[in-house]
């Protein structure tokens, strides 16, 4: 996962996580060939989950959404998928991303309902923090609907310094990425990738 200069190569990011319930989850960089998996993951979400993530009843991923996901630069725009194996196929069960504007970045997550409350979003956040710090991002911001208590809890329990500002319907959360949380993930070496996909 390091490039020739010894810097973290986010395009090859790949770790294996064990959740609190013992489930194995892979967290990896989104790839251009993930389009079909991302569409299936979105269509598997319940309307309430979609509304909490996008603030409205989004019905599908648009062509613009898919182009953006296929063209991440992994400098300014980083996306990670949480995946599991199901009947020999890789299934996306969560997605986290940030878009950087200088040293600050907007961060967002969505996790499939059957996997919510099991630590997937927390793990995605840990790994996005690790990448962000490597690329000079020192602050995350997120706009979260006030009713989305599970996501607010993920941010509160991250161990990162946090401030909030209330809006009409949403809370603006700011996290200071002063030190990377120490992930307990097992890094997967390049020669092990075939066992994941």
The more confident residue out of 1 and 43 is 43
pLDDT winner (highest mean) among 52-56, 121-125, 166-170: 121-125
pTM listed for this prediction: 0.83
State residue 136's pLDDT score: 92
Average pLDDT, the chain: 81
In this structure, the chain runs to a length of: 197
pLDDT digits (tens, 9 = 90+) for 102-149: 999 999 988 888 898 899 999 999 999 999 999 999 999 999 888 888
Q: Mark 33-48 as b/e (b = at least 16 C-beta within 10 Å).
A: ebeebbbebbeebeee
pLDDT in tens, 64-106: 777 777 778 888 899 999 999 988 889 999 999 999 999 999 9
In the three-class reduction of DSSP (H, G, I as helix; E, B as strand; rest coil), residue 66 is classed as: helix
Contacts 24+ apart (CB under 8 A), 16-21: 16/185, 16/186, 16/188, 16/196, 17/82, 17/123, 17/183, 17/184, 17/185, 17/186, 18/186, 19/118, 19/119, 19/120, 19/123, 20/118, 20/119, 21/118
pLDDT recorded at residue 164: 94
Higher pLDDT, 197 or 129: 129
Provide CB contacts within 8 A for 156, sequence distance 6+: 162
Decide: 15 and 24 in contact? Cβ < 8 Å: no
């Amino acid at each position: 996962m390091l490039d020739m200069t010894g810097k973290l190569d986010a395009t090859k990011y790949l770790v294996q996580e064990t959740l609190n319930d013992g489930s194995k989850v892979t967290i990896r960089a989104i790839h251009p060939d993930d389009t079909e998996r991302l569409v299936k993951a979105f269509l598997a979400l319940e309307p309430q989950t979609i509304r909490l993530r996008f603030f409205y009843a989004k019905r599908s991923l648009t062509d613009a959404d898919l182009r953006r996901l296929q063209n991440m630069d992994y400098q300014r725009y980083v996306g990670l998928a949480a995946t599991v194996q199901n009947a020999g196929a890789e299934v996306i069960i969560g997605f986290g991303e940030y878009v950087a504007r200088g040293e600050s970045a907007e961060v967002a997550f969505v996790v499939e309902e059957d996997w919510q409350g099991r630590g997937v979003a927390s793990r995605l956040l840990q790994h996005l923090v690790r990448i962000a710090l490597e690329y000079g991002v020192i602050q995350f911001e997120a706009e979260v609907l006030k009713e989305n208590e599970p996501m607010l809890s993920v941010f509160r329990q991250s161990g990162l310094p946090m401030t909030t500002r209330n809006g009409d319907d949403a809370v603006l959360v700011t996290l200071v990425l002063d030190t990377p949380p120490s992930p307990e993930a097992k890094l997967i070496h390049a020669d092990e990738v075939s066992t994941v996909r």
